[in-house]
Structure 1
Amino acid sequence: MSENATNTPVEDAAADAQRTTTRKTRRGYVASDKMDKTVVVEVEDRVKHPLYGKVIRRTSKVKAHDEQNAAGVGDLVVIMETRPLSATKRWRVVEILEKAK
């Protein structure tokens, strides 16, 4: 083996920084805030039907972590993908765009 094959810790850190991927972000309305530090967010996705071409609205409900319990039902929030926080939580609330009236 040659000595050039080993990487220094600085090179490893630089390689890790290049490998990181961007996390998904979604916008949606809070459907439930009854759990502690958790909100259920309804995320709408518009997809085009493969055969007929009509645009269809599909909604999915995801659980998101809300550390300050700031979001309430009806709030428009931005959520970001994160590491698994529980059995069903994979998202966290980044910001509240609009409070419910």
Structure 2
Amino acid sequence: MADKPVAARHRSLEVGQVVSRAGNKTIVVAVARQGAHPMYERSVHHRKKFHVHDEKNECQVGDWIRFAACRPLSRQKCWRLREIITRAAVPVLLESDTAAS
């Protein structure tokens, strides 16, 4: 019998916005979904938070990221950062602002 090639494991991918830096190498990401209410058929917004492993501590609050499922890394963390889609806008400080304080 010929051996069949092993297919790559399908990992679920999610896209969300960073809402908090929970600690060293950990970020909290909110994923928003919209669905219909089962009885009233009105659109309902759902939001779920995920603890995501950020190995290089490169994410900031407000970034949009893509993350994937992985093996459990801690009690709450079983997601790993894949890529940063959009960086958050960083406010620019002017020289007059720093001199006033």
TM-score bracket, normalised by the shorter chain, equals 0.7 to 0.9
- TM-fit CA distance, 1:21: 4.6
Deviates more, 1:67-76 or 1:25-34: 25-34
Amino acid at match of 1:83: R
Higher helix fraction: Structure 1 or Structure 2?
Answer: 1
Specify which of 38, 58, 62 is matched with residue 70 of structure 1. 58
- TM-fit CA distance, 1:66: 0.6
Q: Distance in 1 between matches of 2:58 and 2:82?
A: 11
What's the counterpart of residue 27 of structure 1? 15
Q: Distance in 2 between matches of 1:64 and 1:36?
A: 11
TM-score (norm 1): 0.78
Aligned length: 89
Structure 1 gaps, min length 5: 1-6
Q: What's the RMSD between the two structures over aligned residues?
A: 1.8
Moved over 2 A (4+): none
TM-score (norm 2): 0.78
Q: Deviations over 1:42-75 (max 9, x none)?
A: 1112221111111211001110001111100010
Structure 2 gaps, min length 5: 90-101
Specify which of 17, 24, 33 is matched with residue 45 of structure 1. 33
